[in-house]
Amino acid sequence: MDYKYAAYRPFAGTIKTLTVKRNALGEFFVFLSCIQEWPDVPARTGKAVGMDFGLKHFLTLDNGRKIDAPMWYKSSLNEIRKANRAVSRCKKGSGNRKRALMHLDRVHEKVANRRKDWFFKLANELTSEYAVICIEDLNLDAMKRLWGRKVSDYAFAEFVSILDWVALKNGCQVIKIDRWAPSSKACHVCGVLTEDTKDLRIRTWTCPACGTVHDRDVNAAINIRNMGLSMLIA
């Protein structure tokens, strides 16, 4: 069987491999692996920012800005449940069941595409504004065990992967600090550690040494920035 394809961009470089894939909706995609010279993008000089990932807010920046994610899966949950019920009502092997399964796959694909589009827009915004971005190396498996679906909906790993790619093109550096660094426990003013922040329900706390009142996430973002810049200098 012959198929026609639409090339939405010209090929660059020397084509090494070509892969044809078909998704659950029956759509075909052609993936090309090409070798080409990649121009060196010099690292920019400019502002640095620390960012703390969280469950209450998707991102908290060290300047106090809080970025909330649209919660794509949660907002589409009724549509997904309706599509699942339609599949369960159909007889196995029937044409109606195949059509219902395709509709369910289309709903999931729409959620994934909306999420990815938002990630790229946010990554471009951040890398355009900041020359150095400091984040934590997240322990996603542990987070999923504790908080389940919400962590999956946020898709932190996918965002970090997109952020790395966009930063590379824009001459921005992404620095990842150790996941075990005490970013939430340490007072960014005096450096004293406190165990009072273990409970995630505590959103503000007062440093027992210097008396500074901290917003939990903003304090963590400031510490992440300071730790990341110290790694850059070293």
Given a contact cutoff of 8 angstroms between Cβ atoms, the answer to whether 171 and 165 are in contact is: no
Active-site annotation, residues: 52, 136, 217
d(CA 110, CA 34): 28
Amino acid of residue 14: T
d(CA 203, CA 225): 20
* Cα torsion angle, 59, 143, 217, 71, sign: positive
Joined tokens for residue 218? 């903003």
b vs e for 32-49, b when ≥16 Cβ sit within 10 Å of the residue's Cβ? eeeeeeeeeeeeeeeebb
Helical (H) or strand (E) element with 127: helix 95-129
Query: Residue 8's closest CA among 24, 26, 30?
Result: 30
Given a contact cutoff of 8 angstroms between Cβ atoms, the answer to whether 108 and 25 are in contact is: no
**In the chain, what is the straight-line distance between the N-terminal and C-terminal CA atoms, in Å?**
59
d(CA 44, CA 171): 6
